[in-house]
Amino acid sequence: MRFDTMNVHFPTKEQANEVSKTKPIYQTSAFTFKDFTEMEEYYQGNKNYLYTRMGNPNNDDLGKGVADLEGAEMGVATSSGLSAILAGVLAVAKTGDHIIATEDLYGGTYSLFKQDLADFGIEVSFIDLTDREAIEASVKDNTVLLYSESITNPLLRVEDIEGLSQIALTNDIKLMIDNTFATPYLLRPHELGADIVVHSVTKYIGGHSDVTAGAVTGSRELMVKAKAKMAMLGSNVGPFDAWLASRGLKTLSLRMERQCNNAQKLARSLETADGVKHVYYPKAASTKGNGAIVTIELDDAIDVFDFSSKLGFVKVVPTLAGLETSISYPIATSHRSIPDELRQKLGVTAQTIRISVGIEDADDITEAFEKALQAVRFEQQA
């Protein structure tokens, strides 16, 4: 070959006797075949990969990793948590169908259900899922899915997944649970009766705030449908992002143990802190802990914007999870799209702050919040 041709076709074949300790990154848009006959083998189900939008070893690695931890038959990796939710929903629901969803949802999910699913001709009823009679009364002949979060965002209500699964089973509908806040480290919704479990992998699964991805898990029958929807919607995660998330997944237990312990200590500290009206933190989410999120409602006299500027190393972000402690302002970010009337009903106010607790020293974290509260009160008194 001449230079220009060699420049393009330098050796890339894998050596069978060279096995990497970690999964290689298959940073490719497509896979090659010896000839058209071998390429046809993909469509006959005898080859795993053709085009990365439809499947890639790194993407499958991430989907399988989350599925294994959740105790599911199969998992599908997607480009984000919302795309995972959409793929899971469309594996069950179609035009003309009806979904029942908890009213205390993450704002992005609420918008997806309220606006985009309506465009698909799918009706969604938002109700209080703590009211069993209300759930039963909302079931219609065309209801196909019941949807909630294992630990709700941002007020951290622990869902009665077993109770919902009984209702779903009785009415022959599927149950779908967003397990982002709990992660399979704390809760495994499939074991409690959930048919589909979704994650924003961007949060605790990836764990390092350097990747955007999602995952949906369930039976092989449902996940084959979800994967087909993911591929046709073009919501696949890139191979490098999938590789990063898979690497992060390996330390999930270590990170969650530390973050849950730190969150427990912070919640206890804030319960008696001057300037804090209410602390939201689960009491019995699981035997391993109660999560790494603490939500607080500050006294009306506290200026939340001033407070947010005095937290030292604590970062101000529009999201959660990651190794560093951070805060978010739900009414301006995650729940900005929720109607004011519903936010007020749920108790998400202008004084509500969601704290994502990191892996730093617990005393440093509690001191950061104590000092911020003291500084704000001092300025008000001056």
Q: Which residues are catalytic?
A: 53, 106, 178, 203
Contact between 216 and 196 under an 8 Å Cβ cutoff? The reply is yes
In the block, residue with structure tokens 């909302």: 138
**Would you state the structure tokens that stand for residue 51, as one six-digit string?**
């085009």
| CA-based torsion, 215, 220, 223, 224: positive or negative | positive
In the block, residue with structure tokens 């009984």: 166
| CA-based torsion, 17, 19, 24, 26: positive or negative | positive
